[in-house]
Copies of this chain bind each other. A is one copy, B any other.
Amino acid sequence: MALASGMRLSARALLRPWSPLRGKALGCTEPAAGGGNGARRFGSQRVLVEPDPAAGVAVMKFKNPPVNSLSLELLTEFVISLEKLENDKTFRGVILSSDCPGVFSAGLDLTEMCGRNPAHYAEYWKAVQELWLRLYLSNLVLIAAISGACPAGGCLISLTCDYRVLADNPKCLIGLNETLLGIIAPFWFRDTLVNTIGHRAAERALQLGLLFPPAEALQVGMVDQVVPEDQVQSTALSVMAQWMAIPDHARQLTKNMMRKPTVDRLLKQRDTDIQNFVSFISRDSIQKSLQMYLEKLKQKKG
């Protein structure tokens, strides 16, 4: 099967000169070294890209140890890498995954939201918006291969995908748990969740900041499939083959028709949303609450 052989190629690719694992500078590219299949390295320091040109698929892996916090740098690098894949006709699908064991992404980087100035908060929030906007209306088939914890912003990223595969491991909790930190998910997080699991389940999940274990995540519709941990990637690839069997143009127009109204709600008030975030996050009470949380995290590590 073309897709499976493509994957073997991709695995071997890790040992090659153009292997994404060796690329460090943001956005640098070079021609494929072997096979003449037109493979190029994308990716950057914090986002590995393992291209499989023969299959038309790339695997993007967050690599921001220890927990793939969505720092400003990561967001910027990710959007650039994604844009390159979007603009490269070779690729029709992307699998989002993690290079950090035990975690897909811990979500937004609290250090970007704590003890900084309003201009920084605004810049950061704009980058978070940009990530969502690019992912949610991506023309690529996006599949999340989730083999670790997937809270908050990590969950949001997975919700923008066309399909979610979750490892059957009790540590693989997934959900928008913002309220547990004393903060609230913005309206477009809400919209994305409501679109995925419906109004009632979203209302309960968001208020309680629920992190669903795999079986519950599947039942509520937060993910589409739960498989043994060692089958997450292969399942994602099988599903990708199903999605890539559909004519791109019709699939993309259909995806756009489903999601554009949700995206338009943010686009209509993007600046207001940034101002709201900056004003909310700058409050003394919120800053104190975030600082306490960050110190707890440090003590855990220490």
Contact = CB atoms under 8 A, between A and B. Distances in A.
A50 to B, nearest CB: 25
A60 to B, nearest CB: 20
Nearest to A289: B247
A258 B251 CA distance: 29
A249 B190 contact: no
Contacts of A259: 203
A200 B195 contact: yes
A250 B182 contact: yes
A184 B246 contact: no
A185 B285 CA distance: 43
A178 interface: yes
A198 interface: yes
Contacts of A190: 257-258
Given A190-B258, A243-B208, A257-B184, A250 B200 contact: no
A206 interface: yes
A221 interface: yes
B203 A195 contact: yes
A200 B202 contact: no
A219 interface: no
Contacts of A162: 204, 207
Contact of A251 (B207, B249, B251): B207
Interface string A104-144: 00000000000000000000000000000000000000000
In the complex, which range does the number of interface residues on chain A fall in? 35 or more
A206 B247 contact: no
A154 to B, nearest CB: 19
A22 interface: no
A254 B189 CA distance: 11
Given A208-B242, A208-B243, A203 B258 contact: yes
Nearest to A224: B204
Interface in A173-201: 178-185, 187, 190, 194-200
Shortest beta-carbon contacts, A-B, top 5: A179-B250, A182-B247, A203-B258, A195-B199, A184-B253
30 contacts: A163-B204, A178-B250, A179-B246, A179-B247, A179-B250, A179-B251, A180-B246, A182-B250, A184-B250, A184-B257, A185-B254, A190-B258, A195-B199, A195-B200, A195-B203, A196-B199, A197-B200, A198-B199, A200-B221, A202-B258, A203-B255, A206-B254, A206-B257, A207-B243, A207-B254, A207-B258, A208-B243, A209-B250, A247-B289, A249-B285
Given A179-B250, A180-B247, A206-B257, 9 more contacts: A190-B257, A195-B200, A199-B258, A202-B258, A203-B258, A204-B224, A207-B255, A207-B258, A209-B250
